[in-house]
Amino acid sequence: MKMRIARLRQIKSHRAFVTEHFRTVEDAAFEWGRHHPVICDTLDRVLTGEIRRLIINIPPGYTKTLLGTIMLAARIMAINPNARILHSSASNALVHQNSQQVKDIIKAERFQRHFPMSFRRDALSKWELAEGGEFYAVPSMGGVTGMRAGRKPEFDGQITGAMLLDDMNKAQDADAKIAAPTGAQLKAMNTRYSSTFQSRLFPAATTPVVLIQQRLDYMDLSGYLLSGGSNEKWHHLCLPVEIIDGWEPDGSWTHAIPIDHDLEPGPLWEFAHTAEQIDLLRSPESVFAAQYMQKPLEGGGLIFRPEHFSEYRDLPNLVYRKIFADTAQKANETNDWTVFQCWGKGTDGKARILDQLRMRLEAPDLVTQAKAFWARHKAMDSTAMGTLRAFAVEDKVSGTGLIQTLKRDGIPVEAIQRAKDKVTRAHDVVASFASGLVLHPRASEAPWVPAWRAELLSFPQGAYDDQCDPTFDAVAEMVGGGASILDVL
């Protein structure tokens, strides 16, 4: 009875399966982090048929291959030893190593006593079970002729195999894109998925695909699929190295079904990286944004560069402060953001962004949040912090109504009329950034900073530029690089 209960528990729970069989891989207990149950619960949904297409983005070294390839493949065979699995990765050595570890688990006594089965063919690139199961291991650019993932199910909900894809892009592919703007390696992998791997599913409707990947580029295979490259919707579990309140993966993906993880802010897995260690990873910005935060810079480096950004730790006396706003183009536009930024000009002549609020707001919430932001910063008026002078808002669309309302309530407002296009304004202020005249707080003290930096770094090719507009206005006024707001009123 105990054996039967243990067997059923492993079939139903990835957590139970990993706990039982990890000692075959390492002669030690598995070091569970808070992200592991999230991954395991998501993979359980794959094996029950609830999720057919899954992308997991997570930093390197966070056991994604162990949970999402090795243990998952072994568990599928435990559930159905007639299953057919196709596994691929960019590295030929890695797929063979993964293949061997799946076999080691199946051959181990602890697996055999629960799920007895034997091998009919035992090779690295392809092995078969006497019970009919097949496992193919092939590099992402290798031949897959004659290989299939899945079989026709005998009953609804039966798992008959899977396509398990693990880091299909090489890190140097992203580097190659910098030297070759066409991104030949990235494009080749994306084309290969649609032309080759997608056709290896049988049947396509019921055979799941699991792609686990550290992000490398905005249009790596994950980005390609999430933006509709395969014309399929993909469940998307995105786990950055640091959980930040208010942070979210790119909202521009048209074919993503986000999976909420409900993890509290802080390091994703302190066993791997503490907060102090995460700070050491932040440079270069492009690598940190992609491989660790799972949010590559789209078109990064066209105008602003990582070396243009400087932190401040202590504030000097401020001459004055001002709030700069960018409101959504439409009050009820669900895909656009409203941004309020508080900036201060120091006695040293430098501009510092002090605080930011970025939300999707509809009236009257727009007015409510604007008043609250003003009140919070107005209360800080002092000799050291200077006076909060005004609320600067672009006199356009929803901003026009906000200007009128704030004026009626006695809040000093400056209406902005932007005469230049955004790209010109960016070029006007980039020298101020590069010369160290623009400073921002540490990300550990202001969780909105990484997203703000990432948007500037991706401008003008990024999905959004709502944080850029008020930044350009503030820098142009406080340290030069464009006409003062007062000059265009």
Q: Is the pLDDT of residue 251 over 70?
A: no
User: What whole-number distance in Å separates Cα of residue 102 and Cα of residue 126?
Assistant: 12
Angle (deg, nearest 10), helices 449-458 and 468-479: 90
46, 175, 232, 264, 293 from 216: Cα distances, Å: 25, 9, 21, 25, 10
CATH number of 2-292: 3.40.50.300
- Which of 12-26, 97-111, 258-272, 409-423 bottoms out in mean pLDDT, i.e. has the lowest? 409-423
Q: Is the dihedral of CA 204, 210, 213, 215 positive or negative?
A: positive
- Other CB atoms within 10 Å distance of the CB of residue 237: 25
pLDDT in the model for residue 334: 41
Integer Cα distance of 301 and 122 in angstroms: 49
Architecture of domain 306-487: 2-Layer Sandwich (3.30)
96 band by pLDDT with thresholds 50, 70 and 90: very high
Rounded to an integer, the average pLDDT of 435-446 is: 92
Average pLDDT over residues 241-250: 85
What's residue 318's pLDDT? Answer: 96
Look at 283 and 484; give whichever has higher pLDDT. 283
pLDDT of residue 424: 86
Q: Which residue ranges does the chain devote to CATH 3.40.50.300?
A: 2-292
Answer yes or no: are the C-beta atoms of 213 and 168 closer than 8 Å.
yes
Q: Which residues contact 228 (CB under 8 A, 6 or more apart)?
A: 254, 255
- The answer to whether the predicted template modeling score (pTM) of the entire model surpasses 0.95 is no
pLDDT exceeds 50 at position 193: yes
CATH 3.30.420.240 residue spans of the chain: 306-487
pLDDT, tens digit, for every residue of 140-189? 998 888 899 999 999 999 999 999 999 998 775 544 443 332 367 888 89
**Lowest mean pLDDT across 113-117, 272-276, 351-355:** 272-276
Q: Cα separation of 354 and 321, whole Å?
A: 9
pLDDT tens string 42-72? 999 999 999 999 999 999 989 999 999 999 9
CA distance 56 to 270: 20
- For residue 462, the model assigns a pLDDT of 60
Average pLDDT, the chain: 88
Give mean pLDDT, residues 224-248: 92
User: CA 321 to CA 425: how far, in whole Å?
Assistant: 21
Q: What percent of the chain has pLDDT over 90?
A: 64
Q: Among 55-64, 117-126, 448-457, 458-467, where is mean pLDDT lowest?
A: 458-467
Distance CA 164, CA 60 (A): 17
Percent of the chain with pLDDT over 70: 91
The residue among 321, 445, 324 whose CA lies nearest residue 382 is 321
Name the band, by pLDDT with cuts 50, 70 and 90, for residue 300.
low
